[in-house]
Amino acid sequence: MSFSSQTNSSAAPYSWVLFDADETLFYFDAFEGLKRMFSGFGIDFTRADFDEYQSVNKPLWVEYQDGKISAAELQAIRFEPWAAKLALTPQTLNSAFLTAMAEICAPLPGARELLAALQGKAKMGIITNGFTELQTVRLERTGLQHHFDILVISEKVGIAKPDVGIFEYALELMGLPAREQVLMVGDNPHSDIQGGINAGFHTCWYNVHGHAAPAGIRPHFQVASHHELQQKLISLLG
């Protein structure tokens, strides 16, 4: 898939590049994380168990992104059935899960090289709907934290993507650059791309599987790999 613009291809170079975290910079395999976590409690967590977990978890994420529930409510409710079975608190299980995810969430292929190539050419940040306990530890363990000038976590801000409020919060942290000089890169067309568009940012859809864009969502660019994004940005930024 080529890196193609749906707007003005001669746009000025970006002064900021913002990234989503999960499935944009890092692997996020929730099943493997849950298997690892539950093994510590003597449970053989199966694919059927995961399907049951997701039947609760997925709708909660939609409610969270729509601002209907808080991060704390999401993290507790999704583990309530297992907490009752194991006579533990949902918070205990959630914390163990985030710890397990921090241990297995490696950078995606080309992510390290992309960040290194952009260092000094544009300021970089992360805007994530993930949770604080995972994001900070993972960045430290992978040694990537020094690449980012800002780290915006929805749990801390109290607003989740695609709400324009979290992008406005990031804009303030960035020192109010021109909105068209900010590029938002993410794998989720709804939270990352539409959210970025609503904030007036340019957007790049990290579309590794080559999906068609949902109706009404038009990213400025799309790429199929970090290498492809690196080549285009380096050509723009010099």
The confidence band for 237, taking pLDDT boundaries of 50, 70 and 90, is confident
Q: Tell me, what amino acid is at 177?
A: P
The conformation of residue 150, written as its DSSP 8-state character, comes to E
Sequence-ordered list of residues with C-beta below 8 angstroms from that of 196, at least 6 positions apart, any chain:
18, 167, 184, 186, 202, 203
Q: Which of 102, 112, 169 is nearest to 134 (CA)?
A: 102
| 164-188 average pLDDT score | 97
pLDDT (tens digit, 9 = 90+) per residue, 36-88? 999 999 999 999 999 999 999 999 999 998 989 999 999 999 999 999 999 99
Chain CA centroid to CA 4, Å: 22
**CA dihedral in degrees (54, 61, 134, 47; nearest 10)?**
10
pTM for the whole structure: 0.88
CA distance 33 to 44: 12
The CA-atom distances, in angstroms, between 178 and each of 14, 15, 61, 72, 182 are: 9, 9, 31, 34, 7
Domains and CATH numbers, the chain: 16-27+107-237 (3.40.50.1000), 30-104 (1.10.150)
**Mean pLDDT for all residues in the chain:** 91
Residue of 20, 22, 163, 192 with catalytic role: 20
- Bridge partners, 217 (sequence order): none
User: What local confidence, expressed as pLDDT, does residue 200 receive?
Assistant: 97
pLDDT (tens digit, 9 = 90+) per residue, 77-116? 999 999 999 999 999 999 999 999 988 889 999 999 999 9
CA distance 139 to 142: 5
| 159-167 average pLDDT score | 96
Of the chain, the percentage scoring pLDDT greater than 90 comes to 82
CA distance 79 to 89: 8
Residue 20 among the catalytic residues: yes
53: its two tokens: 């977990």
Q: Which residue has the higher pLDDT, 7 or 134?
A: 134
CB count in 10 Å sphere of residue 41: 14
The conformation of residue 217, written as its DSSP 8-state character, comes to -
